[in-house]
Structure 1
Amino acid sequence: MDTTSELVGQRVADVYLRECASRSVLQLLANKWTFLVLGALADGPQRFGVLLRRADGITQKSLTQTLRGLERDGLLSRTVYPTIPPRVEYELTDLGRSVGGLIGQINVWAEANLSSVVAAREEYDEHVGEEPRPVTR
């Protein structure tokens, strides 16, 4: 599985294999900006400035790169309206909407379990420098 065309021809993918082309899709989805932009676009078409404000902390350069990558990968479409100045909107494609449901579920899980994760981090940090305790049975 050295190339994407070989993978497509075989219809076999295993993201756990180092050489599998599906890793590039996993890498795309694991990017925090990709994740946030896809989540923001789940609400419908958005303009660049709206996405920039919605994905708080992203730079214009990172947003531009993220949008171009998502368009290239077929997850969103870009529509330029013939106005002065030109108005540009970004919208999820069917492929983008199919992953959008997963992103929505992960967002719900993250928000619902935030306090548990924070508590686990605090507990871990309290014990990180301690010597291991023997197991008693």
Structure 2
Amino acid sequence: MKSVLDQIRPDNDQANTCPIRDVLDRIGDQWSLLVLATLDPGVKRFSQLEREIGDISKQMLSKTLRRLEQDGFVAREVHAEVPPRVEYRLTALGRSFLEPMRGLIRWAEANQAAIVAARRRA
């Protein structure tokens, strides 16, 4: 069985296809996890996402949604109405990521105080 280090530091032939680096690079940014968590309850319009996330700019929300859609986590549906209505929802892939994401959130909540204390000591 590969060690954690072997999984995140592949040999040179696999550097471009390392699944851990590839996936974490995309979902590990500042906004992706918040967008995915906000879509957890169900379908949302852009303005709802913007309002619920709060401190994200329209440009950054748009960019994050495009990347999540490109990676298959989010589906975008445009309704032919005047004005057009655009809705976002998690795909099956996006939903499958929620449980590991919840685990990460639980770990962060349980360990944040220790991390902050360590930073103060450093």
Structure 1 residues 81 and 104: alpha-carbon distance in aligned structure 2, compared to 1, 3 A threshold: same
Q: Name the structure with the higher helix share.
A: 2
Amino acid at match of 2:81: T
Relative contact order higher in (CA < 8 Å, ≥ 6 apart): 2
The residue that corresponds to 1:106 in the other structure is 104
Amino acid at match of 1:121: V
Q: Give the secondary structure class of the aligned counterpart of 2:75.
A: strand
The residue that corresponds to 1:90 in the other structure is 88
Q: Choose the corresponding residue for 1:121, options 110, 116, 120.
A: 116
Q: How does 1:25-36 map to 2 (within 5 A)?
A: 25-36=23-34
Q: Give ranges in structure 1 of 5+ residues lacking alignment.
A: 1-13, 129-137
Q: Choose the corresponding residue for 1:16, options 2, 9, 14.
A: 9
> 2 CA distance for matches of 1:69 and 1:47?
17
Matched-pair contact (CA < 8 Å) for 1:33–1:55: no
Q: Give ranges in structure 2 of 5+ residues lacking alignment.
A: 1-6
Query: RMSD between aligned alpha carbons?
Result: 2.0
Structure 1 residues 102 and 120: alpha-carbon distance in aligned structure 2, compared to 1, 3 A threshold: closer
**What's the offset of the Cα at 1:55?**
1.7
TM-score calculated relative to the size of structure 2: 0.78
The residue that corresponds to 2:63 in the other structure is 65
- Are 1:39 and 2:37 an aligned pair? yes
TM-score calculated relative to the size of structure 1: 0.70
Cα deviations by residue, 1:71-121 (Å, 9 ceiling, x for unpaired): 11111110011111111100111111100222223334434x2xx533652
Matched-pair contact (CA < 8 Å) for 1:15–1:26: no
Provide the identity percentage.
36
Bigger Rg, which one:
1
